[in-house]
Structure 1
Amino acid sequence: MTQIDYFFATLSPYSYLAGLRLEEIATKHGASINYKPLDIIALFGRTGGVLPKDRHISRIEYRTQEMMRQSQKIGMDFNLQPAHWPTNAAPSSYALIAAIKDGSGDVGKLCHSVLRACWAEEKDIAQDEVIRECLSNAGFNPDLADSGLLVGAETYAANLEEAVDRGVFGAPFYITEDGQRFWGQDRLEDLDRHLAALT
């Protein structure tokens, strides 16, 4: 079975705008997804990136326009300035890592639920009640929010190191088994075509 390593951040607007399209592509091609939440702020610092707030005004303005265009293009609710952004991404990421290990629910749905909470529902994804609701909605035991914190922290850090080592510099970022890299939700169509060529 083909595997896709999926590096993403629970604070990333573009990870949110990917929706569930990666999961649909994986199903279409019989591929599995390795979900790897990471610290996007640390990733920027390690790979020469600049935080959105520190970018030149021309880049800030373009990013604003592009996010709105992309959300309208795919018909997704999107709040350009969510009430709770930025926030601490670690608690939601640790819960995701615990859920991935648990495997009893729908990980793709959980990822999207957390991202949607931030970018469309005005919820603080650092808050326990928000994380528990997302877990429950995706078929997981909400108590996973309180378990495996040490493992979560270790895996979260390891995902960052792996990302840097493998040439990841943003989110969402997809790497196929044959080493092809795709950056951004607007490259999912290219990923789809690539996987089709492999089968």
Structure 2
Amino acid sequence: MAQIDYFFSVFSPWTYLAGDRLEQIAAKHGATITYKPLDLLTLFDRTGGVRPAARHPSRMDYRMQELERWSKHLNMEMNFKPVGYPPNGAPGSYAVIAAQAAGGGDLGALVRGIARAVWVEDRNIGEDDVLREKLEEAGFDPNLVTTGLFTGAMAYERNLEEAVERGVFGSPFYIVAETDQRFWGQDRLDFLDAHLGTL
């Protein structure tokens, strides 16, 4: 059984646009997923990337065109300019980490719910009430927002260090543990699917 290590930011637009395709691919191949939310902006700093706020306008204009193209292609509604972007991604990441440790719910649905809160609902994912709602909708104890805080914070830091060590530099980023094949971006999910078919 293949193992997919999924490194991502809870507020990345590309995480949102990935939808549930990763989970569908994993189910198709009998693979397991380990969710590893991380601090994307610090990852950029550590791996030679540039934070969106510091990018040249031409790059940001192209990014917007790509978001519009992909949301249309995937038939996914999207608010391209959410208020307060980028939000504080740490609390949502802690919630995902705590939920993964607790089990009992749908982790993929939780990640999608948090991303949707940013890119469709225009809500602040740094607020406990929003995260409680998303945890409950995905079948988890909403109190994980507070009870999983310490564990989540520690794992969040470890995920960043592991990402840097393993060659991750963006979000979403998928690594097949058995082969160290790396796939950056929701537009590489077809290649991940094909690779898993060879194992």
TM-score, normalised by the number of residues in structure 1:
0.98
Structure 2, unpaired ranges of 5+? none
The reply on whether 1:150 has 2:150 as its aligned counterpart is yes
Correspondence for 1:186: 187
**3-state SS, counterpart of residue 65 of structure 2:** helix
Identity of matched residues, %: 57
C-alpha RMSD of the superposition: 0.7
| Range 31-40 or range 88-97, more displaced | 88-97
C-alpha offsets along residues 101-142 of structure 1, whole Å, 9 cap, x if unaligned?
001100000000000011111111001110000000000011
For residues 35-72 of structure 1, give each alpha carbon's deviation from its aligned partner in whole angstroms, at most 9, with x where no partner exists.
Answer: 00000011000000001121111111100100110011
- Contact kept, 8 Å, 1:14 with 1:185, in 2: the verdict is yes
Q: How does 1:23-34 map to 2 (within 5 A)?
A: 23-34=23-34
Aligned-pair CA distance for 1:163: 0.1
Contact 1:124/1:130, CA 8 A, preserved across alignment: yes
Q: Aligned partners of 1:131 and 1:99: how far apart in 2? A: 11
Normalised by the length of structure 2, the TM-score is 0.98
Dislocated runs of 4+, deviation >3 Å: none
Gaps of 5+ in 1: none
Listed as ranges, the matches of 1:106-117 within 5 Å are: 106-117=106-117
Match of 1:122 in 2: 122
2: CA distance between counterparts of 1:100 and 1:189? Answer: 25
